[in-house]
Amino acid sequence: MPRMPRWTSLLFAILALGPLIATADYSGMFAPERIGRWYIGGGLGGFNEESNSQLQNPDEQFGTFFSGGYRLSRNIALEIDALLSHQEFDTPPAGINGRKSDFYTNGVGGVAKFILPLDRAELYAGGGIGIYTSTVQLDGNNFEDDEDDTNFGYQLLLGADFFVSRHFSIGVEYRHFKLDANFDTNLLPGKIDAGGDFLFATFRGYF
């Protein structure tokens, strides 16, 4: 099956922002008291990995995150962000008897966001860096092997929050995540691009 371009996820994200912007009215839902307060949030969605010749026929791709942040001003927020992704792929070499292996990436990073308030909606863009561990669990007919690699990674993000109340929002977020991994196994030689593109459904609550 042909691989969809990496930026297809970004296109879907931009299209998803349209209804949120259209429904943003001027009812004064932006709450000035959110400035100088903490918030928590999270998201769940799809994950499209970078192109890797070592990972054949990837499926069951998903990602999730949990974050806590502080609203410094009307337009700036800082967050600590925990990210997890998962996918399955054919056990090398060439999918032994249809067996599948697992690839996980998880870690914690810092994120800075620029926010554009539009009353009930807030658009944002940001980026961050963190430290992440990639783990591969190989499952063959006569062998099992777990390998991991830890490295610095970075991410860029674009999204929108729609406030259903003055302190709670739902939204959509696109992320591009870049991370390299090298495993000590001949079955997955060379560098693997452990990052990819995410499209999340999100929530956030201020307190």
- Is 31 part of a structural domain of the chain? no
What is the extent of the structural domain holding 45?
A: 8-23+37-206
Q: Does the pLDDT of residue 30 top 50, yes or no?
A: yes
User: Looking at residue 51, which CATH number applies to its domain?
Assistant: 2.40.160.20
Residue, of 184 and 38, whose pLDDT is higher = 38
- Is 1 part of a structural domain of the chain? no
- Is 143 part of a structural domain of the chain? yes
The predicted model gives 38-52 an average pLDDT of: 88
How many domains does the chain contain in total?
Answer: 1
The predicted model gives 183-192 an average pLDDT of: 74
- Is 130 part of a structural domain of the chain? yes
User: Which stretches within 53-141 are classed as H helix?
Assistant: none
Q: What's the one-letter identity of residue 96?
A: I
First to last CA, the chain: 46
* Secondary element (H or E) of residue 22: helix 8-22
Half-sphere exposure of 133 (CA within 13 A, CB side): 5
- Is 82 part of a structural domain of the chain? yes
Choice among 5-19, 64-78, 117-131, 157-171 with the minimum mean pLDDT: 5-19
Q: Does the pLDDT of residue 24 top 80, yes or no?
A: no
- Is 166 part of a structural domain of the chain? yes
β-strands 180-182, 168-178 pairing: unpaired
Which of 4-13, 59-68, 152-161 ranks highest by mean pLDDT? Answer: 152-161
Residue with tokens 């792929």: 89
CA quadruple 91, 3, 61, 98: dihedral sign: negative
- Is 86 part of a structural domain of the chain? yes
Q: Does the pLDDT of residue 19 top 80, yes or no?
A: no
- Is 2 part of a structural domain of the chain? no
